[in-house]
Amino acid sequence: MNRVTGENDLPTPGLGRRPLLRLAAGGAVLTSVGAAARLTLYADGEPTADGVLALSTNAGSDVQSLNLPLGDDLLPRAGTRRWESRRLPTSTHSMVAFTWSDQDQPPAARIRARRGGVWTPWTLVPPHFDVPDGEDVGDDRVRGTDLMWIGRADGVQIRIDGRRPSDLALVLLYPEPRLTDELLEGPSGRAAVQRSIDDARVPRPELVTRKEWGANESLRDGDPTYNHTLKQVHIHHTVNANDYSRRDVPALIRGMYAYHTQSLGWSDIGYNFLVDRFGRSFVGRAGGARRLVRGAHTLGFNAESTGVSAIGNYETAQPTDVMLNAIAAIAAWKVDRFDRDPRGTIRVESEGSDRYSAGRTVRLPVIDGHRDTNDTACPGRHLYEALPKIRRRTARLIEAANQRPIVVERPAAVTGVANLGESLRIEPGTYWPEEAMPTYQWLRGEEPISGEVDQTYVLRAEDVGTSVGCAMTLTQPGVESVVQRPTPPGVVTARPVLEVVSTSRRRMVRVAVSVVAPPGVTASPDGQVTVAVGERTRTIEFTDGRAKVQFGRRRRMALGKHAVRVVYGGSATFLTTEWSGSVRVD
């Protein structure tokens, strides 16, 4: 809404441009909030169609806002210690809160809204118990209620019981929907499965980033503050209505972000993470989701914790199972890096809350509810009752991460020569984690060799002609074993024995050759043998391991001594073998 010259704006200490009280008919501007509101907005206790309380926007923001002081003119006394407004027509809004700045007890504030022409029942707007970033902001800090998401509404009525703060103000917000809100599917609370070998911790869950949900970084004030350790995860709820849709959530978070920074004066949204009823997880406060960003979520206990807020009102509704999974995934990711027991307790020192004075050391659950540290119903009865389930699921995620799968970095290999009598050895390679236990089983073909479970194996006669390899199994308690079967070095061979008989008669030489397999080898050598007598050579096939060669039948051998050399050419099973001797021709 554009600013009109000459408007008499309502004074406002809070969010955005100062609120405007407009007349719809004719566009005239009311110059006095109290009198004009009584005379123009109302007739016999009902709103007219003439005017509305109009929200406006800051430049560069699509969060419309109205911050309206509630004095006697708009919130008159309605009885002993009760103040109640008439039904106030407004432009479209979807979020409601109250602020004040004195030190008195928070007001018992209730609202009801007009949605689709129908007024909702009265709803309590509970006080917010947290302060900006743990800073010492003194007694003049802005205090506020939780920010209620009520859906699209165009009217509001207010009731205060007890004491009404003198500077009580109504905050109405309307974070305008964006096309990207409807398109954003986002993660589902599942933990990411990819991690480096060096990262032995719970992996980061899938998170919707600030950019993805539409954070306007110009609303932030100052740099993030970081904690030095993490002892706790505090669970909250945002006290919104529970009927929001998937596409409502990014705008809803933008509204909370604007309320925390512009109405309450915080440096950023208070929560570190938010989770919706669909199981999606959102990064809240800026500064790095992995880092120990100090939040403003748990008064007195922000210094050593992270805050996760469930979007919705879990005093009245049950949290969904996927929401609990998403909370557990964030909690496991955070506490595992500091070796905290998610089912245990821990000693922490209070910085000062309405339950524990500053400097007091108390023992609290590692995963607790907001009510454990402050006088509040947060995170709602049903979510608080679900905390044991969240703790168990967190512990299971941590246990599963510690029982991480075995990763083979360099595969195993069988070394050695596949010859009878030689030794084969399996080299285990490298793997992670190093404490995984390797075991070995030698195989003949696909069949295990009974009793052969050492890292080395000596090849025997029954192996000749087969392929001998080894299966190495890596085991680690609680995780699936990894079996490797490196390529065998080849078919096992044997070196045969050459038995040679050479004789001479009538200047002829006869050489008889037998190629004999080693003892125990059932295979029979085949192939060729080459026989040389002196300078004469012949190569012949042999069968059944035997061959005969004769020299000098056509051309007689010279008298004297002749060298005899026999070479077996080998086969797929038997190695090349040589024999040398001599024969005398008389």
Residue 252 half-sphere exposure toward CB, CA atoms < 13 A: 29
Q: Is residue 287 part of a domain?
A: yes
Q: Is the pLDDT of residue 110 over 80?
A: yes
Q: Is residue 5 part of a domain?
A: no
pLDDT band at residue 18 using 50, 70 and 90 as cut-offs: very low
- What kind and span of H or E run contains 323? helix 321-336
Q: Is the pLDDT of residue 132 over 50?
A: yes
Of 339, 372, 402, the last residue of a domain is 402
Q: Is residue 4 part of a domain?
A: no
Asked whether residue 214 falls in the same domain as residue 347, the answer is yes
Asked whether residue 398 falls in the same domain as residue 420, the answer is no
Which amino acid, 277? R
Of 175, 201, 226, the last residue of a domain is 175
Asked whether residue 227 falls in the same domain as residue 117, the answer is no
Asked whether residue 212 falls in the same domain as residue 350, the answer is yes
Asked whether residue 301 falls in the same domain as residue 337, the answer is yes
Q: Is the pLDDT of residue 186 over 60?
A: no
Length of the chain: 586
pLDDT band at residue 129 using 50, 70 and 90 as cut-offs: low
Asked whether residue 32 falls in the same domain as residue 72, the answer is yes
pLDDT band at residue 415 using 50, 70 and 90 as cut-offs: very high
Check residue 400 and give its pLDDT: 81
* Pairwise CA distance, residues 373 & 362, whole Å: 10
Do 401 and 201 contact (CB within 8 A), yes or no? Answer: yes
pLDDT 10s digits, 322-356: 999 999 999 999 999 999 999 999 999 999 988 99
Q: Is residue 1 part of a domain?
A: no
Asked whether residue 479 falls in the same domain as residue 514, the answer is no
Asked whether residue 387 falls in the same domain as residue 418, the answer is no
Q: Is residue 6 part of a domain?
A: no
CATH number at residue 520: 2.60.40.10
Of 426, 453, 484, the last residue of a domain is 484
Asked whether residue 149 falls in the same domain as residue 199, the answer is no
* Pairwise CA distance, residues 112 & 96, whole Å: 10
| The pair of three-digit structure tokens given for residue 220, joined into one six-digit string | 């932030």
> CA distances (Å), 560 to each of 342, 503, 585, in order?
98, 13, 5
Q: What is the CA radius of gyration of the chain?
A: 43
Do 433 and 479 contact (CB within 8 A), yes or no? Answer: no
Q: What is the mean pLDDT of residues 106-130?
A: 89
Check residue 226 and give its pLDDT: 95
Residue 516 half-sphere exposure toward CB, CA atoms < 13 A: 11
Asked whether residue 294 falls in the same domain as residue 387, the answer is yes
Check residue 513 and give its pLDDT: 94
pLDDT 10s digits, 576-585: 999 999 999 9
Asked whether residue 189 falls in the same domain as residue 332, the answer is yes
Residue 456 half-sphere exposure toward CB, CA atoms < 13 A: 6
Cβ neighbours for 96, distance < 8 A, ≥ 6 positions apart: 111, 113, 125, 147, 148, 150, 156, 170, 171, 172, 173
Q: Is the pLDDT of residue 483 over 50?
A: yes
Q: Is residue 142 part of a domain?
A: yes
Q: How many domains does the chain have?
A: 4
Helix (H, G, I), strand (E, B) or coil at 512: strand
CATH number at residue 119: 2.60.120
Q: What is the extent of the structural domain holding 93? A: 20-175
Q: Is residue 133 part of a domain?
A: yes
Do 328 and 320 contact (CB within 8 A), yes or no? Answer: no
pTM of the model: 0.65
